[in-house]
Amino acid sequence: MKKDPITFDQFTALDIRVGYIVDCQRVEGSEKLLLSTVDLGADYGTVTILSGIGPWFGPADLKGKKTAFLANLAPRPMMGHISQGMMLLVDAEDDTGKPLIMDLPSDSIPGQILR
């Protein structure tokens, strides 16, 4: 679905960073939520990010990955935890609904800005 255009200033307000998933675990009482501990570099440090991708991925699928995160999303309480950002994924193009995780280059550094 095509969305309304945004201004350049709205785009530059998004802080998209390389994040390294230090640890990941399932959230007790949820079939969907995974809680990731993510290193977002010096500006943000290590944060907690919850993602509703549990039906398709387990903690072992995420731990040790470098991928893209929206670092400046307002914190949001979820099932007794606070999510401090959002993992960016590629939407599925098939009937499975399984999103794709963007693997960033191994030489990318946590906290690097994606443009």
The answer as to whether 29 is a domain residue is yes
CA distance 105 to 115: 15
The answer as to whether 108 is a domain residue is no
Among 28, 18, 21, 30, smallest CA distance to 49 is for 21
pLDDT at 12: 95
Among 93, 91, 115, smallest CA distance to 16 is for 115
Residues 6+ apart with CB under 8 A from 29: 79
One digit per residue, pLDDT tens: the chain, 115 residues? Answer: 899 999 999 999 999 999 999 999 999 999 999 999 999 999 999 999 999 999 999 999 999 999 999 999 999 999 999 999 999 999 988 888 899 999 999 999 999 999 8
The answer as to whether 47 is a domain residue is yes
pLDDT at 93: 82
The answer as to whether 24 is a domain residue is yes
pLDDT at 68: 98
The answer as to whether 28 is a domain residue is yes
pLDDT at 92: 85
The answer as to whether 8 is a domain residue is no
The answer as to whether 56 is a domain residue is yes
The answer as to whether 112 is a domain residue is no
Domain holding 55: CATH number? 2.40.50.140
Q: Which domain holds residue 85?
A: 13-101
pLDDT at 76: 97
Count of domains forming the chain: 1
